[in-house]
């Protein structure tokens, strides 16, 4: 019987344990978590979502405070078009986060950064370009493009000296999205180094509509693998979404995937950035507690716990401090929903906004409990403590369980 450790992910001549811990913004996949994956010979991700805030927390910078001070005058104005990110500061924050992580890296594995296109930051092209090139400057091993089709993203870093040596890949949820990406980038003569195929059971935003349940990861992986073979493209395919045990992973590796990307099992790791309270909520969740809704202003469905504090919260849009989802014209679906409720309920002190949420503020405060579909099984991966709470795990324990387990077994902590 095979186990994950019988396989290796190959990039050129180098080989890695075929386990990639997926990017989880905002700072849920911390540097500490990513570094553990690299130390153990796999691939870890940090995320550049809300990078200024992450830098403030990690390095005591004051980017958010300064931005809030600068745009304080606009707080009661529903027009957010004047709120801009200082590109120099975005670069500095990225370099701090990436640079410190790469300096701390030990072991044979790699650390990548997850770059979401939907993080439009009121100047989509310019800010994305700065985020990616600053990460390359700071020595990141690779970039995983996510939450968008990224048709222009390779072009935005094509002039960077590391464009051809860093590992660059993209997350897709269909063979069509991959075909489009390849077609749009053909003139650059640079293929992605890996393709993550993310199915409908993943955490975070889904690359599907509300009909997500009709899709199946194994089928999409098979379509992508067949397509790449037909095109004679030797690009590793990395399967993601709902892979809970080492045996689940082996079935994808035997089916032709080169590695797996996993995340949900690591949400309850000591090294994961979620609060201890949120980690206990993840452990406690039953299958009925996990829902997919459309409250994210990005327009993508998102999976989360039903008890997520962000649901229904009618806080004032936090764009003067954050503004990461502003679309380039100062728009965000939450601002529209919030303004509608203000008009409808002029006398109410505490508003409820049910259809959208201020994702920046709630992600920043770890109050949007996004999770994968297998979250309800996390309780079976640990033991209960005397006070009734669940024991958090080390990232190493979870990583090695994926790497060595057989027979769909999950090793409990000792």
- Select the span of 289-297, 366-374, 395-403, 406-414 touching ligand FMN (CB under 6 A): 366-374
Tokens of 73: 């005058």
Give the burial string for 205-243 (b: 16+ CB within 10 Å, else e): bbbbeeebeebebeebbbebbebbeeeeeebbbbbbbbb
**Residues 122-151 close enough to bind ligand FMN by CB under 6 A:** 146-147
Using CB under 6 A, pick the residue from 4, 33, 43, 49 that binds ligand FMN. 49
**Residues 292-351 close enough to bind ligand FMN by CB under 6 A:** none
Chain centroid to Cα 201, Å, comes to: 14
Cβ atoms of 132 and 156 closer than 8 Å: yes
Q: Closest distance between ligand FMN and the C-beta of residue 21, in Å? A: 8
Please report whether residue 285 would count as binding ligand FMN according to CB under 6 A: no
Residues in the chain: 414
Burial of 72 (0-12, 13-18, 19+ CB in 10 A): exposed
| CA–CA separation, 29 and 210 (whole Å) | 26
Question: How far apart, in Å, do the first and last CA atoms of the chain sit?
Answer: 25
- 86 Ramachandran zone, left/alpha/beta (phi>0; psi -120 to 50): beta
**Residues 262-281 close enough to bind ligand FMN by CB under 6 A:** 262-264, 267
> Reduced to 3 states, what is the DSSP secondary structure of residue 322?
coil
Instruction: Give the contact letters, 164-193, x = binds to ligand FMN (CB under 6 A), - = no.
Output: -------x----------------------
Please report whether residue 241 would count as binding ligand FMN according to CB under 6 A: yes
> Reduced to 3 states, what is the DSSP secondary structure of residue 277?
helix
**Residues 26-45 close enough to bind ligand FMN by CB under 6 A:** 28
Please tell me the count of residues contacting ligand FMN according to CB under 6 A. 30
Q: Closest distance between ligand FMN and the C-beta of residue 119, in Å? A: 9
Chain centroid to Cα 378, Å, comes to: 19
- Select the span of 23-31, 129-137, 218-226, 405-413 touching ligand FMN (CB under 6 A): 23-31
> Reduced to 3 states, what is the DSSP secondary structure of residue 125?
helix
Using CB under 6 A, pick the residue from 120, 122, 173, 261 that binds ligand FMN. 261
Please report whether residue 121 would count as binding ligand FMN according to CB under 6 A: no
Q: Closest distance between ligand FMN and the C-beta of residue 303, in Å? A: 8
- 303 Ramachandran zone, left/alpha/beta (phi>0; psi -120 to 50): beta
Cβ atoms of 42 and 404 closer than 8 Å: no
- Select the span of 2-10, 132-140, 183-191, 255-263 touching ligand FMN (CB under 6 A): 255-263
Using CB under 6 A, pick the residue from 22, 44, 246, 330 that binds ligand FMN. 22
- Given the rule CB under 6 A, which residues bind ligand FMN? 22-25, 28, 47, 49, 114, 116, 146-147, 171, 198, 201-204, 240-243, 261-264, 267, 370-372, 374
């Amino acid at each position: 019987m095979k186990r994950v450790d019988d396989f290796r992910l190959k990039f050129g001549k180098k080989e890695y344990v075929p386990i990639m811990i997926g990017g989880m913004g905002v700072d849920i996949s911390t540097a500490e978590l990513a570094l553990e994956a690299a130390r153990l010979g796999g691939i870890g991700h940090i995320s550049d979502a809300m990078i200024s805030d992450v830098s403030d927390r990690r390095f005591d910078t004051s980017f958010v405070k300064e931005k809030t001070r600068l745009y304080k005058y606009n707080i009661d104005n529903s027009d957010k078009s004047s709120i801009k990110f200082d590109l120099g500061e975005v670069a500095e924050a990225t370099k701090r986060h990436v640079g410190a992580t790469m300096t701390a890296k030990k072991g044979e594995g790699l650390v990548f950064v997850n770059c979401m296109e939907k993080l439009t930051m009121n100047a989509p092209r310019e800010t994305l370009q700065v985020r990616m090139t600053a990460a390359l400057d700071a020595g990141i091993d690779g970039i995983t493009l996510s939450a968008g089709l990224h048709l222009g993203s390779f072009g935005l870093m094509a002039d960077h000296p590391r464009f051809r040596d860093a590992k660059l890949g993209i997350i897709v949820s269909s063979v069509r999205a991959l075909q489009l990406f390849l077609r749009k980038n053909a003139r650059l003569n640079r293929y992605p180094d890996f393709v993550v195929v993310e199915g409908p059971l993943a955490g975070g935003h889904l690359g599907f509509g509300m009909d997500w349940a009709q899709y199946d990861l194994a089928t999409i992986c098979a379509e992508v693998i067949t397509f790449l073979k037909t095109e004679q493209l030797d690009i590793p395919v990395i399967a993601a979404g709902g892979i809970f045990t080492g045996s689940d992973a082996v079935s994808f590796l035997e089916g032709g995937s080169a590695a797996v990307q996993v995340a949900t099992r690591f949400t309850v790791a000591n090294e994961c950035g979620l609060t201890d309270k949120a980690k206990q909520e993840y452990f406690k969740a039953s299958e009925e507690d996990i829902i997919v809704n459309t409250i994210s202003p990005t327009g993508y469905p998102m999976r989360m716990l039903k008890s997520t504090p962000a649901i229904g919260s009618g806080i004032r849009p936090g764009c003067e401090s954050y503004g990461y989802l502003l679309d380039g014209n100062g728009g965000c679906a939450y601002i529209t929903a919030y303004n509608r409720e203000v008009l409808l309920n002029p006398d109410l002190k505490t508003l409820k906004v049910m259809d959208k949420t201020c994702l920046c503020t709630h992600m920043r405060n770890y109050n949007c409990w996004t999770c994968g579909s297998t979250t309800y099984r996390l309780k079976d991966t640990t033991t209960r403590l005397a006070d009734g709470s669940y024991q958090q795990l080390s990232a190493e324990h979870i990583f090695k369980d994926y790497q060595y387990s057989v027979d769909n077994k999950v090793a409990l902590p000792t």
